[in-house]
Structure 1
Amino acid sequence: MPNMQLHMPLLARHEGVWDGVYRYYDANGDKIDEHKSRLICRFTSDENLPYHQTNHYSWADGKVEVRDFPTRYEFGRVIFDNELIYGWAAEVPLDDHHRTVMLYWKRKGEEGLELYEMIQLSDCGQMRNRIWHWYKNGVLVQRTLIDEKFVSRDWQKIKGESFNGDPI
């Protein structure tokens, strides 16, 4: 198993804890949802689970969700395959500035629903911006804009449930 941090140096710069806001818009550009997030992005020493991401979401009404994304590495891509999605993430070699990661995934159990994501990491590594384009049977149905700030590289201090704003 190759060292993912060596083979995917841009993704390696994403390792750590990120706090942010997700804003969802319908195809007409009207906001339909917003929530806070805390993402824990980590590389592991487990060859069968080289990259692992856990997303914590919290809404103003008190609703919370935690989504876990274990992965594997194949042919220059991170492969996501869990009960919710199947897809991949890859660095964009044509980006001369080395800021862009692209993702594609299909939602399991929702026939025809696909998502493309583009992630830009700031040169300082302290901010990242993401956009999701949601397609249903090839037609754009939704966009998600995500703005995040880097909190800490020390993700090991996260124990149990940890949501946006909790101390590390």
Structure 2
Amino acid sequence: MSNIREEMPVLIRHEGDWVGTYTLVDTAGKILDKYESHLTCQFPENSPHPYHQINRYKWADGKTEEYDFPGTYSDKNLLFDTNRIQGRAWEADDSTVILHFSYKGMPEMSLYEMILISPCNNYRARTWHWLKNHQIFQRTLIQEERLR
């Protein structure tokens, strides 16, 4: 049986709570949106989902959103299949995780994310490349630090 803790050591380094800022920009670099985030990455034992992520977002005007992303594991891949998204994540090297997913309600749209964790495991830099009909139309720039 595959073991996510042994076979995805870079992903395991993300366990815990992360706070940061998301900045959404168009292809010219113009800021379209900016908001705060608090993400929780968990690896629950004795669960049908060996990975569970909770994303919480908060805007300056008081608007909030929260999403749950349970993940399954197979052959060094983290797999997502929720009512909102379908995708997979894999390790590219000793500090990088790549995630590709699409939105179930918008089949023409997909997203590639690069997640880079620092050697001390306390900082993350993430970029999302948003594609519509296979053409990039915006990016999300994310800067986070581990909540202590």
TM-fit CA distance, 1:3 = 2.3
1:114 to 103, 110, 113: 110
| Partner SS for 2:107 | coil
Structure 2 portions without partners, runs of 5+: none
Q: Identity of paired residues, percent?
A: 45
Q: TM-score, normalising length from structure 2? A: 0.96
User: In structure 2, how many angstroms separate the alpha carbons of the residues matched to 1:27 and 1:110?
Assistant: 20
Please say if 1:105 is aligned against 2:101. yes
Counterparts in 2 of 1:51-90, with a 5 A limit? 51-90=51-90
Structure 1's consecutive aligned runs of 4 or more residues displaced over 2 angstroms after TM superposition are none
| Partner SS for 1:111 | strand
Structure 1 portions without partners, runs of 5+: 153-168
How many pairs align? Answer: 148
TM-fit CA distance, 1:47 = 4.7
Counterparts in 2 of 1:36-51, with a 5 A limit? 36-51=36-51
2:121 to 122, 125, 129: 125
| Partner SS for 1:6 | helix
Deviations 1:44-78 (A, max 9, x none): 11352000000010000000000100010012100
User: In structure 1, how many angstroms separate the alpha carbons of the residues matched to 2:135 and 2:12?
Assistant: 33
